[in-house]
A and B are shown apart, each in its own frame.
Chain A
């Protein structure tokens, strides 16, 4: 879906995520630019609110502009791992069902989203549900999970 206004993006997230609001989920973001500009913060805030999330969002990055640990984000650097893609994703993993329940492909860095000029001014932005036959999805998710387990010494996407 092409998004032209900030409010449309927030509505899109509401529509896609709210069905999982009572599930026990983890949110996994892959965006190599970990900057948390106001646009990204607003998206994260919206996700946390819709899902009533009580665990940190997992953010995989390569370039860190935050330089501090945030309570609501577990951030992991991909720079030493072999994930050679530039795409950005938001995945929802259901801890009880032990499966991914929603896979979103994001057409720009979350940090590229600007809301703060008002409703009339917003960078064009694309977000879509990933097709089930998306070629590398299994491999990407498998590798991310492996990295998470290695870095945290946990057994699954647990917290």
Chain B
């Protein structure tokens, strides 16, 4: 093992654009050896005898490639090298790598998460691509696993340093390593929205698995109860604004959630709640419907107003008959539970909207595309206007049913 070995490894890094495991034979050839004890001893000797500021980088190169060829012996490697000087350099190298300061071995990743207003939803989308990260960054992921095996605190310290968040999310999405929940509290309180939502994704992972086949009315198993207690304990440790953000994001993404989320909604400051509710993508009817959870557990009417505003906007801009037919009975139920004044105002707005549509025979002939779009909305508006609500809401001599 000499400096030439590392020049070859460095060149190989430029070549790898897929799974590192496809390059095992090439790595073995460069080392002319695959026995981890021999290689670690040789490297320790090599690093002791060179005078170079590149020791951290060389250590990162060495351990990442060693682990690729001997990944099944990761635990044994951890035992063997845990007190080595080179491991100290490896940690420094990893830190520099995560800060993107190595021009030749940096990693860059575009995850598309910021396309989503609900970061938790973006992470859910990204989870479908975690496998690709697992391939492309398998060498660095293995280094993280090695550090986890040796010293869990250091593992989390470095995970926090991952500015790109690709490796961070890999561990938060893929339940490969079983973290003790208290380790997540710092991450749930992170200033970085992707970090805290990522940690929340991890926290809720087992709960989702346990309730996957659970239906309303089923007996809650002891395992679910224990899990709920654990989640509640950790959530208590999250700052209130971040806690509400995560709970709101979660409710908009998932249909099943712990009961104590409802208490949080009931007790939350309305402005805080509205801040995170307004951040959601309300162009989707399936999201507008989620407002019911909040409406049902708040006596104030602000969220009811958000609901009717968003409904009106949806009819104006995003109305689709196929979507409407799927959700209209839920919309009717929600409208039924709104305060009468709010419902009356909504009905007036909807009526007014109808008068502004281009749906006449004239429109059909002279502005066909506008006609097509607006014709779409007519059926939806007519549906809404035909609905009858609670009998005690009948008002006025014209017998308007609201």
Q: Do A and B come from one complex?
A: yes
Q: Mark A10-42, 1 if CB is under 8 A from B, else 0.
A: 000000000000000000000011000000000
* List of A residues within 8 angstroms of B128 by Cβ: 86, 109
A residues near B284, Cβ cutoff 8 Å: 80-82
A31 to chain B, nearest CB (A): 11
With A80-B281, A80-B284 as given contacts, are A33 and B129 in contact (CB-CB < 8 Å)? yes
Point out which of B132, B327, B368 has the most chain A C-beta atoms below 10 A from its C-beta. Answer: B132
- Residues from chain B with a CB closer than 8 A to the CB of A147 are 320
Q: A99 on the interface (CB 8 Å rule)?
A: no
The stretch among B27-35, B63-71, B109-117 that forms the contact with chain A is B109-117
Chain A residue nearest to B126 in the complex (CB): A63
9 A-B pairs with least C-beta separation: A63-B112, A153-B369, A80-B283, A82-B286, A143-B322, A146-B322, A82-B323, A146-B320, A82-B284
The answer to whether the Cβ of B321 comes within 8 Å of any Cβ in the partner chain is yes
Report B-chain residues with C-beta under 8 Å of the C-beta of A33.
112, 129
Instruction: Give 9 pairs: A residue, B residue, CB < 8 Å, sorted on A.
Output: A32-B125, A63-B125, A80-B283, A82-B284, A114-B18, A117-B22, A121-B22, A143-B323, A153-B372
Give which listed residue, A63, A114, A139, contacts B115 with CB less than 8 A: A63
In the complex, are the beta carbons of B112 and A143 less than 8 A apart? no
By CB atoms of chain B within 10 A, which of A139, A147, A150, A155 has the most? A150
Interchain CB contact under 8 A, B115 and A62: yes
For B18, the chain A residues whose CB sits under 8 A away are 114, 117, 121
Interface presence of B58 (CB below 8 A) = no
Question: Considering the chains assembled together, what is the distance between the CA atoms of A86 and B116 in angstroms?
Answer: 15
Chain A contact surface mostly: loop
**Cα–Cα, bound, A112→B18 (Å):** 10
Please tell me if the beta carbons of B115 and A150 are within 8 angstroms of each other in the complex.
no
From B132, B286, B322, B368, contact of A142 by CB (8 A): B322
One of B112, B125, B327, B373 near A153 (C-beta < 8 A):
B373
- A65: min CB distance to chain B, Å: 6
Interface residues on B, range: 20 to 34
Q: How far is the CB of A136 from chain B (nearest CB, A)?
A: 11
Shortest distance between the CB of B379 and any CB in chain A (Å): 12
Expressed in whole angstroms, the Cα–Cα distance for A81 and B323 within the complex equals: 8
CA–CA, A65 and B327, complex, Å? 31
- CB of B115 within 8 A of CB of A79, answer yes
Write the nearest CB–CB distance from A110 to chain B, whole angstroms. Answer: 13
Chain A count of residues within 8 A CB distance of the other chain = 26
Interface set, chain B 347-389, CB cutoff 8 A to A: 368-369, 372-373, 376
* CB contact between A64 and one of B115, B286, B372 (< 8 Å): that residue: B115
A residues lining the B interface (CB < 8 Å): 32-33, 62-65, 79-82, 84, 86, 109, 112, 114, 117, 121, 139, 142-143, 146-147, 149-150, 153, 155
Contacts of B376 in A (CB 8 A): 150
Q: Which residues from 103 to 135 on chain B have a C-beta closer than 8 Å to any C-beta of chain A?
A: 110, 112, 115-116, 125, 128-129, 131-132
Q: How far is the CA of A65 from the CA of B18 in the complex (A)?
A: 19
B372 touching A155, Cβ below 8 Å: yes
The reply to whether the CB of B285 lies closer than 8 angstroms to some CB of chain A is yes
* A143 in contact with B320 given A80-B284, A121-B22 (CB within 8 Å): yes
Residue among B22, B283, B320, B322 having the largest count of chain A Cβ atoms under 10 Å: B322
Q: A62-B115, A62-B125, A65-B112 are in contact. Are A80 and B22 (CB under 8 A)?
A: no
B318 part of interface (Cβ distance < 8 Å): yes
A95 to B267, CA, bound (A): 56
| B4 close to chain A: CB less than 8 A | no
* B322 touching A150, Cβ below 8 Å: no
B129 pairs with A109, CB closer than 8 A: yes
Q: How far is the CA of A82 from the CA of B373 in the complex (A)?
A: 18
CA distance A57 to B106 in the complex (A): 36
Tell me which residues across on chain B come within 8 A of A32, comparing CB atoms: 125
B132 pairs with A112, CB closer than 8 A: yes
Task: Tell me the smallest distance from the CB of A78 to a CB of chain B, in Å.
Answer: 10
Measured in the bound complex, the distance between the Cα atoms of B135 and A102 in whole Å is: 32
* A residues near B390, Cβ cutoff 8 Å: none
Contacts of B373 in A (CB 8 A): 150, 153
Interface string of B291-308 (1 = CB under 8 A from A): 000000000000000000
A105: min CB distance to chain B, Å? 15
Task: From known contacts A86-B128, A121-B18, infer whether A139 and B322 are also in contact, taking CB-CB under 8 Å.
Answer: yes
Contact A146 B286 (CB under 8 A): no
Nearest CB to that of A120 among chain B residues?
B22
B372 cross-chain contacts in A, Cβ below 8 A: 149, 153, 155
Instruction: Tell me, in angstroms, the Cα distance from A62 to B129 when the chains sit together.
Output: 14
Name the interface residues of B315-334: CB closer than 8 Å to any CB of A.
Answer: 318, 320-323, 326-327
Q: How far is the CB of B296 from chain A (nearest CB, A)?
A: 21
Q: How far is the CB of B301 from chain A (nearest CB, A)?
A: 26
Partner of A82, one of B115, B131, B132, B326: B326
Known A63-B125, A84-B286, A153-B369; 20 more pairs at CB < 8 Å: A33-B112, A62-B115, A63-B112, A63-B115, A64-B112, A65-B112, A80-B283, A80-B284, A81-B318, A82-B285, A82-B286, A82-B323, A82-B327, A112-B129, A114-B18, A121-B18, A139-B322, A146-B320, A146-B322, A150-B373
